[in-house]
Chains A and B, each alone.
Chain A
């Protein structure tokens, strides 16, 4: 067993540590060796902090030896490079932040460390979390561990691929319009985006502040519940973080879901959906019915407007948030510039990649004088309509089931020159993001040997219900008949 420790889930590894079957140092070494042997092909990591990880592991072993325990003590976890890490380079996969070493940890990272987790390094992503394929990393693309010619999804593609390729036990990501759920679906792992405000955003590098939320990518639902329990909670450093009570997510996980009302909206099963993905999702809903859930048809009539609404609001917020990258406080410099405007424009022109420039331009345009009401304010009004669709639906149902992505992972390069086609791969994850709702993706089958995900969406702060439904499905589904991952045969 010792040579395949890297394949464990968080909860299985935690049990092994508790039983004394292996140490955190052995577990961490196993993962570092795994990264060493496969990451050259996957590209999931931008930075591996091997020495720091082994020190944290030794410290966790010492704490355990002195009688301490905890659900994450000694467990190796990867962090998306959008999270600030004290003393560890944090680039957001952008050239403009090359060499940036934050002086503090994001609150989510602080909480993981306090729980005794081991941090393995920083995962690759689309630059500033803008993208659906991870091809917009300024450093290198990430490849899908199931088929190395396919994208892993984005923007948390490195985190999803690292989990799928067993290069970490679990990973943190961030989700603004689907950036946790979409790569989780395409890589075949569990991806949870909690309610907006459930996890502090302090130290999460901002993309679109009214939408950004930290999420988790794990090998199963139990692990997602464990991680959420460690991360959730109010933080005085993030005034938008919620003061809602935090249930015992892991403790409540295996509750019976008898009587759970599942809403199914035809708007998520219409044109553009690969019929085989739709079949897989319907099978999953039937599986939930077999353990006592009921199915009801609901309507979310403004679903189709989520795409234009999101692509006005998110770039508008991004154009303001990314104004801070101007060569003054951090990042690239331009000693030749003769005035400050020239310096900023040159650094930004050189430091941002094509997708980031595109979104800054869309956002700047949408917020500019003469267009503000026509684009930005109108999109905010449609956001109200999308949000009230969900409020109406949740009067009759407890969770909503839908696909995550219209089709399985596409070829690297296939959508790179067609931004609108790329944006359309987010069409089923955007509505819940705009409404700030908790949602997750869980593997529900394979199409052409590639994973497909079931999306579950719940009302605000009903993460416990969401996780219980996902766990009931996972337990009833059993292990998926799994095609072999490319990364395990090469």
Chain B
């Protein structure tokens, strides 16, 4: 079913909107949540929360890209749940490794002056200046939390090459943030 049609179902307050959303974007949201939480029961709860939040937000929200909208909700909810959980439960999954990778980039950065919106705008501009394939790889890694092996398979390249591309992108991100006034 087309995204527009599903959004119309949300507006009509039809529960079929949830079914169609789960059918079309359930796997995407599940993979993001799974990469962050690693716990199937928590992932299921997170997915239910995602549809519930979308149900409450639409209307008035009218997303142009329902998939991206649901993915962002699932991701944020998963991150919130992870934060809420005990730190000891953290493993060495794709999310944790990705977090460490980003930590290495901004460890010495002064980010207090920047709000999430500001940083998001900077990252948007950074991504706009990257090649399409690199941009896709970056988001597969730091939005969807795919492992380098999964990214390499997706882009038909050796894992080592994918890792090198991501490393160089992090270096460029660091330089970009420095040029944009972030004290690093």
Partners in one complex: no
Residues of A within 8 A of B (CB): none
Residues of B within 8 A of A (CB): none
